[in-house]
Structure 1
Amino acid sequence: MAGPLTPDVAAPTGKAPEVNPPAGAARPARPVVLSVLARTGLVLVKRAALLAVLLALVFGTVELLPGDAANATSERGESAADIQERRELLGLDRPVPERFWDWMSGLPTGDLGTSARGEPVTGLLSSAFPNTLLLGGIALLLTAVLSLALGCWAALRPGGRVDRAVSGSATAVLALPEFVVAVALVLVLSLWTGWLPAVTLTDADGNPDSWTMLVLPALALTIPQTGWNTRIVRAALADEARAPHVETAVLDGLPPHRVLTRHVLPGALPTVAAGLATSTGMLLGGAVVVETVFNYPGIGSVLASAVTDRDSPVIAGVTALAGAVVTGVLLVADLIRDAMTGVRR
């Protein structure tokens, strides 16, 4: 017979007892994954629609420029009849919306149309765009390393001499356009010292002939973006330093560098990632100017020639590729931010 402190033991029924999950148990992973996928798909649809609007504006803007592709690519001595024949061959006699729709219909298959000089746009960009991605990737990596290092160095002693110097220098550098930085680098590191080449020479494959020819263009892109991202890193660290867990770590007597690396920096990484993702578009835009200054074989020279030729398919192709890269980087930054936010929760 069971006593008052002895639990009653039920007779076996052949079924496993039902166990209710505890109230604080984690939710199943599948709904979370589906939610992330749905949100990602919605973001991609919105950005694809924005890119389509941008491409339509590109086509319309080229039409507002004086002249057209037939006139711009004509040879000396050609008659008006020859130019009109080329205009019909290029389809310039058709309405702009019709030509834009034809170009957009080939975009999902990777067909970017034909340039005004009869070359496939895909072939033009496939040889130039990897060089721009290499240059932009190097600049983005240098920007990330330098801005994190400078921002963390300034955050170790808030309001100190280093903090004021870093913040002031970052603001000054941020205000410099890429072409000004490029000209200054050529003047100092090439003409005065002779350390680095001022222009880019290419090999038989159309790539830079030496790694030294990447240094000046990469620095010209890196320096302004380092100023921008250093300010972002410093502001993100300052915001995170006011969090309760950081104040607790300081009161516990942890060294400043340990508080920074283990308690402040992880919480600031989503903001830092978003800033670097935003810099991707700025780097691609600045690459057009920098590549022209250093004669670098990237999309800068392709785009400059396309604008001169009033070549809508080439200009739109460059815009589409740049938009795809920026969209991909922004999506990765959003995923990193969501992941870091979920870990902190």
Structure 2
Amino acid sequence: MRLATLLGKRILMLVVLLAVVFAAIELLPGDAASATSERGEGAAGLAARRHLLGLDRPLWERFSDWITALPSGDLGTSAHGEQVTDMLADPLPNTIVLGATAFVLTVVLALALGIWAAARPRGVVDRTVDLTSTAAFALPEFVVSIGLLLVLSLWTGWLPAATVTGGDGAPTSWTMLVMPVLALTIPQTGWNTRIVRAALADQAATPHVEAAHLDGLPLRRVLLRHALPGAWPAIATGIATSTGMLLGGTVVVETLFNYPGIGTVLAGSVADRDTPVIAAVVTCAAALITVVLLLADLVRARTLGART
């Protein structure tokens, strides 16, 4: 029942978010017909294009038709006449590979650094990790991307500056993933390292962890067997939050590195005022974030249940 309630709330939030997306695009100057029109097209041609795209219909009616078709997998038709499902078929897996790699790397690095710092409280390592993680989180993805481009591509030539795709629409070499993954990973590693360190510090003050110290257990065992399980709810929440930040960062990173993902599709769709494509990308991102948030909720519920 708890899971069903949470899922129902997430779905309701998604519907409200999509309604806001439709309304926000409607408020932007211009529309999909004028943005995708041929050069020199007259008023009659624009009117015909608006009718073809359904832009002469009320906003609520367009949104209702789109949202009711969504459960069947129909994401609508773009302003260029393409099926949105077909448009996302190639870039979506590329974004999943990029985001999943950055996500796993973020989790591994944050846990390692956070535990390392917690094992040496108020020492040189702890202060260094704290300072470095704060600086990393403060850097936006585009700043990290530019720095990586300068160092790893322009100055050293170690990695390609742009992504080249093959016939299947995927990058032709794994080396083209390195800088986009790092650009997403570095800020989120800083964020999650601080969360892991703070969660372990809170657990260090609990009676059962203090008792483990007094019993003379090795520090590593105290951290991994006694402190870390109690810190999982806070860590899981931070990781779930990072999912949204990672997906938001892909728009900037994919554009800078010419990476063939949905971030690039989204950037072009905003310029074209292409509402169905924008809403479809938001839906894909929201669905993924919803799954991660549900997993985080389950981790918290299981941990709290084990305590009681």
What's the TM-score once normalised by structure 2's chain length? 0.98
1:292 is aligned to 2:255: yes
CA distance in 2, matches of 1:94, 1:127: 31
Partner of 1:283: 246
CA distance in 1, matches of 2:124, 2:36: 58
CA distance in 2, matches of 1:216, 1:281: 20
Shift of 1:133: 0.9
Question: Which residue identity does 2:73 align to in structure 1?
Answer: G
Shift of 1:272: 1.1
Partner of 2:35: 72
For structure 1, list consecutive stretches of 5 or more residues without a partner in the other structure: 1-37
Corresponding residue to 2:142 among 179, 183, 186 = 179
Task: Give CA deviations for 1:46-71 in whole Å, capped at 9, x if unaligned.
Answer: 11111111111111111111111111
Partner of 2:272: 309
Task: Give CA deviations for 1:125-155 in whole Å, capped at 9, x if unaligned.
Answer: 1221111111000001010010001101110
Partner of 1:218: 181
Question: Which residue identity does 1:215 align to in structure 2?
Answer: V
CA distance in 1, matches of 2:98, 2:302: 29
Partner of 2:47: 84
Corresponding residue to 1:153 among 116, 139, 154 = 116
Shift of 1:198: 0.9
CA distance in 2, matches of 1:261, 1:43: 30
* Worse overlay, 95-104 or 253-262: 253-262
| SS of residue paired to 1:196 | coil
Shift of 1:299: 0.6
Partner of 1:257: 220
CA distance in 1, matches of 2:307, 2:174: 42
Shift of 1:341: 2.6
Shift of 1:78: 2.0
1:137 is aligned to 2:107: no
CA distance in 1, matches of 2:275, 2:227: 48
1:125 is aligned to 2:53: no
CA distance in 2, matches of 1:126, 1:339: 36
| SS of residue paired to 1:210 | coil
Q: Which has the higher contact order (CA 8 A, sep 6+)?
A: 2
Shift of 1:340: 2.5
Shift of 1:83: 1.4
Question: Which residue identity does 1:168 align to in structure 2?
Answer: L
CA distance in 1, matches of 2:307, 2:176: 43
CA distance in 1, matches of 2:83, 2:299: 37
| SS of residue paired to 1:167 | helix
Partner of 1:191: 154
Partner of 1:57: 20
Task: Give CA deviations for 1:190-244 in whole Å, capped at 9, x if unaligned.
Answer: 1111111111100101011111111000000000000000000001000111111
Partner of 1:34: none
| SS of residue paired to 2:263 | helix
Corresponding residue to 2:235 among 256, 259, 272 = 272
Runs of 4+ displaced beyond 4 Å: none
CA distance in 2, matches of 1:341, 1:198: 47
Question: Which residue identity does 1:227 align to in structure 2?
Answer: G
Question: Which residue identity does 2:218 align to in structure 1?
Answer: P
Shift of 1:89: 0.4
Shift of 1:269: 1.8
Task: Give CA deviations for 1:290-333 in whole Å, capped at 9, x if unaligned.
Answer: 00000000011100110111101101111111111000111011
Shift of 1:343: 2.8
Shift of 1:252: 1.2
Partner of 1:326: 289
Task: Give CA deviations for 1:239-275 in whole Å, capped at 9, x if unaligned.
Answer: 1111111111111112212211121112212221121
| SS of residue paired to 2:90 | helix
CA distance in 1, matches of 2:45, 2:71: 34
What's the TM-score once normalised by structure 1's chain length? 0.88
Partner of 1:21: none
Question: Which residue identity does 1:44 align to in structure 2?
Answer: L
CA distance in 1, matches of 2:236, 2:159: 32
RMSD between superposed Cα atoms in Å: 0.9
Partner of 1:231: 194
